[in-house]
Structure formats: C-alpha cells, structure tokens
Amino acid sequence: MKNELEAFVQNNGLTGEMFFIINDNDNYIYRRVILHDENTEPLITENFKKSITDEIIKRISINDNGDAIIDNITDMNYEHKGVYYFDIASEDKSTIIKIIEEISSLTVADNPIDFKFNDVNLDNIIGLVYHMSDGDKNIFLYQHRYPNFLHKKSRLSFLGEGDVLVPIPYDMINISKVIDFFVFDGISYAINIKLLEERYGLTQVIDNMVSEVTPKIIEMEIVNKSVLAEPEKIFDDMKDDRGFMRKLARVLKNGILELNIDVNIVNEIKTSFPTIGRNIDIINDDNGMQYIKLTSKARKKAFIRLLNDEAVRSVLTQKPSIAQNHKPEKISLPHDVINS
C-alpha cells in the first residue's frame, strides 16, 4: 500500500470533492459540498496530497520483505504511531464510520444531495470527507471537526483589507491537514486511535473484547475461580483505567491463551522479572494447589502484563527486561517448557 500511495500523490491529475457529515437532530447524514471557485478544489487537493505524505505514508513502516507493517485495530498495539486496518465488525462500527464507508462506495451514477449553507447550522457539522481520485484509484480522507474548524462572525470579527480592518460579514470554516481515518481502494484504516476511542466507538469494542476474554482467563488453571464470588466481574474495578482495558482486550488475540501456561512458568517469570514479579503472589488453596492471587489492582495489572508477554530477555546479554507493547509470536511453547 505504501508504494501505491506514493505513486498516487505524485500524480498531477488528481481531482477532489468534499462532503460534510452533519448531525441532523441526532440523525447523521452527509451532503456534497460544491466547490464553485476554480481555485478552491486544486488548493484543497494539494493540501491533502501533502497530508497523505505526512499523516499516512510516513507512518507506514516496511518489514524485511518489503511489505507494509499495518496492525489491526483489535490487536490493541497503539504505543507507536502507525496506520491500522479497520478490522472492527460492521455491527460494532459507529454510525459515522459507516457513513464514511457509504460515501466511499458512491459511484458516478449516484447523485448525492448538495450542502446548502443557508439551510444548515455550521455548528452541526461533525466532520468532513475529502475524496481524491486519479481516475483509477480513490482515497477518502476523514477529518474530525476540531474546535478551530468554525469561526463564527461577530461584531468583533475583522479582516485586514489594505491598511484597514473591515468587518467579516460571514462565518468561516478552517480545513486543516489532519487525517483521522481514511478509505483507500475500498479498505478502511484508522490513524487517530485516541479519537476513535473517545468519539467513534472503539471504547465499546474494547469493552466487548474484555467481556469475551475475561471468562477465558478465569478458566486458566492458574486462576482459582472457586474463591471469586462473581468471577465474571473480576476486572470491573479496572474499567476506568482505559490503558489497562486495552491491555486486557489485547490478550484475546495475542495467542497466549492458546498456550498451556502453568504455575511453574509463572514462578520462573516472578523470579526472573522482579518488575512484574513483585506484584504477582502465588498462594496455596486448601488442597495444596497453587494459584495467582488477584485481589488488588496492582496484582491484576501485573497479571495482564504477564499475559501480554511483556517479560523478555535480551538475546545478547540474557538480561531480563519489560517490553511495553511486546507482541508475542503466536506459536506454542516448547513441549518440555510447557510440561516442566
């Protein structure tokens, strides 16, 4: 994709069109914005060509095989600025994300309704979609409406004209270079994960993943569910800690639950990695079985860090360390380690 985007922005024949997404009495709709001035469309298109380079292309890393490194949103690996596949199921996408994708599916035969500045309160604009095309490939860029998007006229709004100030008789909008989400060649991507979580439905997706992964964690042999009054609510006290909730959701897809992790492995990690180990307590039940104690927020955080395989050892020095956002290989542990 990176090479395709680089070739795309080098094309001097790109054209663009704009859409506003509007809150119409809590019903989200879109309208095409007519760019009458012959200088307006090329100016905006040039603005977003630079944005594609700065906001998208520069974020995409390449692996040793020359392939673009693009994680899924639901992998929950957000510590590094990147571009993410929008792998959220359709039923879990927010209405506005669905509208962006609906706009991206318009054809030349479609005739979208035009935006009328006299009919719509500019305060109701949620964001804009800018469609760029070279006649073959298409990209749809979404920009959220930020506080500086709209400048409303007032008695003290002025414009410099020559050497004097004259009143501004109209409202103005400001289009920035920001890209929050985009659709390229029919595939949806996200850039601004923070915005996606705060405004566009990712919080609910994370909570759904947590609801799915929690019973799987409880069923692990290293968790003593018999001492939990309501096992399914074991992480409810952590819901306000969104960083923790993302890490907890990450366990669903990182492959760790497929491994047969037992107390022996946990004890080894506890001994070798004191940063995590100091908050991991192993206790014996009445039958002499060993389990991890999960009775405090600190213990729960340490446990989830363990399940995210953040305890790593240097290949060169064999020194232990904690790797934030370490992505475990989705393979089984060696048979002798699992059964040690």
Burial class, 280, CB count within 10 angstroms (exposed 0-12 / middle 13-18 / buried 19+)? buried
Please state the pTM of the whole predicted model: 0.85
DSSP letters, 160-201, are EETTEEEE--S-EE---S---EEEETTEEEES-HHHHHHHSS
pLDDT at 323: 55
b/e 299-336 (16+ beta carbons within 10 angstroms → b):
ebbbbbbbbbbbbeeeeeeeebeeeeebeeeeeeeeee
In terms of Cα–Cα distance, which of 51, 34, 175 is closest to 116? 34
Whether residue 304 contacts residue 322, with contact meaning beta carbons closer than 8 Å, is answered with no
- For the chain, what are the domain ranges? 2-200, 204-338
Q: Kindly report, residue by residue over 37-69, the tens digit of the pLDDT.
A: 778 999 999 999 999 999 999 999 988 888 888
Q: Kindly report, residue by residue over 183-204, the tens digit of the pLDDT.
A: 999 999 999 999 999 999 999 9
- Long-range pairs of 93-97 with CB within 8 A, sequence gap ≥ 24: 93/201, 94/200, 94/201, 95/28, 96/21, 96/28, 96/126, 96/127, 96/200, 97/181, 97/188, 97/200, 97/201
